[in-house]
Structure 1
Amino acid sequence: MELFDNIDYLQYGSPVQISAFQTLKKHLIIDLLEPYAPLLTGTIPIGINIEGSDLDIICCYHDQANFADNIIKLFNEFEGFKLTIDTCFVVAGFKADDWQIEVFGEAKPTRMQYAYRHMLVEYQLLQIHGDDFRAEIIRLKQHGCKTEPAFAKALGLTGNPYQALLDLEV
């Protein structure tokens, strides 16, 4: 979906989205990740964030070791930098300004990754079901529900909430 192809839309959004945009631009985070087709995903882009929500950026790499090395070089000076390398993915976390940022990379195109696909389904559901539905999702999240389980609960979906949302992809 073109809306989420870059972060420019954030500068016209809520105060939280504007703050996220300013931090990402100020520190050139998306620009530095450009070789890895970065996409901002999660609750901030679709406006269902709660207190403590972070900025989730997904990336696609072709060489895991090279990606991990570059992430270290690019972001290790940031407060709280931490890197986790698994057989199938790399995750880095750090703080920039008032934002906790998580950079997730795997050897899969970003538009095919679950975080992006879930976000698109959630965005479409928010468009269909309106403000009361959005308020319910936020309420469930404020009471400890993770995002996908909150959507599943609000929609009455059964089974694995992550798969149930993917089953709604158009």
Structure 2
Amino acid sequence: MTRADYRAAIAQSGVLARLAAFDPHVAGTPPLALDLPESDIDILCYAPDLEAFAVEVQTAFEAEAGFALRRWREGSAVIATFKALGWDFEIFAQQIPVAQQQGWRHFVVERRLLAVGGAPFHAAVMQLRRDGLKTEPAFAAAQRLPGNPYAAVLALAGAEPAALIAAGFAIHGSA
């Protein structure tokens, strides 16, 4: 089955409008053009009151196919999932602003790395994803970053593009 472009799916589903009170941000692989057929659309939200958020999300999305709602890490987040327009959607909310959430911080770093590395780096990360790596491990492998790939990618959060280039930003594929 062919699915709509992720932007069309977001617009047609009305998900951002229904979550407007929670500062929704689209993250993950589709906006980075690194999505695979099994990729989902991630929506990150700020919910100072997670219980109120859970009630609002339940009301707004419970009629969607495959709707599920769960608490994560002893109540530190609420996650809702559903299917619409050929996509799986995942809504993730925490009691901290989106800009401070690790998922958003990873997304910003990855977007910056793709901008600095251009098409060759994008191709290398995409091939690593096709080879089976998750997003952060693919970015870390493409840069040969040591240690925990999630921490290694996040450690680049403060690096400006010029600093990345000066530090010898390199592209390593899955060869």
Same fold, judged at TM 0.5 (above)? yes
Cα distance in 1 for residues equivalent to 2:117 and 2:19: 34
Shift of 1:38: 0.3
For the 8 Å contact 2:125–2:138, the answer to whether it is kept is yes
The number of residue pairs the alignment matches comes to 155
Shift of 1:27: 2.0
Runs of at least 4 residues off by over 4 Å: none
**Residue in structure 2 matched with residue 102 of structure 1 by the alignment:** 90
Partner amino acid for 1:119?
F
TM-score, scaled relative to structure 1: 0.87
Question: Equivalent of 1:156, from 119, 144, 156?
Answer: 144
Partner amino acid for 1:113?
Q
Question: Aligned-pair RMSD on alpha carbons?
Answer: 1.6
Give 1:19-168 correspondences, 5 Å limit.
Answer: 19-86=5-72, 87-168=75-156
Partner amino acid for 1:51?
P
For the 8 Å contact 2:140–2:152, the answer to whether it is kept is yes
Partner amino acid for 2:10?
L
Shift of 1:160: 1.2
For the 8 Å contact 2:128–2:138, the answer to whether it is kept is yes
Partner amino acid for 1:136?
A
3-state DSSP of counterpart to 1:124: helix
Partner amino acid for 2:30?
I
Partner amino acid for 1:34?
A
Shift of 1:161: 1.0
Shift of 1:48: 1.2
Shift of 1:17: 10
Greater helix proportion: 1
Gaps of 5+ in 1: 1-15
For the 8 Å contact 2:69–2:78, the answer to whether it is kept is yes
Partner amino acid for 1:112?
Q
3-state DSSP of counterpart to 1:53: coil
Gaps of 5+ in 2: 159-175
Shift of 1:18: 6.9
3-state DSSP of counterpart to 1:57: strand
3-state DSSP of counterpart to 1:77: coil
